[in-house]
Chains A and B, each alone.
Chain A
Amino acid sequence: KAGVTQTPRYLIKTRGQQVTLSCSPISGHRSVSWYQQTPGQGLQFLFEYFSETQRNKGNFPGRFSGRQFSNSRSEMNVSTLELGDSALYLCASSSGMDRGFLEQYFGPGTRLTVT
């Protein structure tokens, strides 16, 4: 089974721009979660989608948004980029049902650098 894939792997953007990151979950998984990882704040939960519905979101400004498609692929978007948005963005997939949600498999991440 193929693992979680994230594209692109690396991205450099300028302040004020917007960016879209993509995540393809493991085949059969219906839940996708997104995390931001920075040296100062560690791993912080952004949001989780299951069957195209957002079930939970973390404490991030509205500039951070996401969506999930019918094939379970997910995208996250960050608008009006700030220097502080530079981070490794990780996507994780799981079956999404009950305790199956809790066994998450992570992708390699997208390294976003904002200049």
Chain B
Amino acid sequence: AQSVTQPDIHITVSEGASLELRCNYSYGATPYLFWYVQSPGQGLQLLLKYFSGDTLVQGIKGFEAEFKRSQSSFNLRKPSVHWSDAAEYFCAVGISGTYKYIFGTGTRLKVLA
């Protein structure tokens, strides 16, 4: 069965520090992978997506993610975190042909000043 795992429920980093949020997926075919961010009381905003090609993808707000097929991972990174990055981050797999997404449980990021 398809699934998405975000092993870190909470992460706290200091402003200016680097960030890596982990995402592992289970899917038999080539996955379509996404990272979304959700600020409190808001909907989800697409940060970046991977469909095919270059395994390092750039997104908005200075985020990037790397697809590693051998590890079934799609980790999100940012070299220097800003206080405004505090939010909840969701990794998702798009299941082609079924018209549905499977989301991870989310990682809540706290940024210390």
A residues whose Cβ falls under 8 Å from a Cβ of B: 4, 31, 33, 35, 42-43, 45, 48, 50, 55-56, 58, 90, 92, 96, 99, 101-109, 111
Contacts and interface: CB of A to CB of B under 8 A. Distances in A.
Given A107-B43, A109-B43, A55 B103 contact: no
B98 to A, nearest CB: 6
A104 B46 contact: yes
Q: Interface of chain A, helix or strand or loop or mixed?
A: strand
A13 B44 CA distance: 25
Given A42-B106, A90-B43, A99-B32, A55 B99 contact: yes
For B44, B46, B99, B106, the residue with the greatest tally of chain A CB atoms inside 10 Å of its CB is B99
Interface of B: 32, 34, 36, 41-46, 49, 51, 90, 94, 96, 98-106
Contacts of A35: 103
A19 B10 CA distance: 34
A50 B97 CA distance: 13
Contacts of B101: 33, 45, 102, 104
Closest 6 CB pairs of A and B: A102-B94, A106-B43, A43-B103, A106-B44, A48-B99, A42-B105
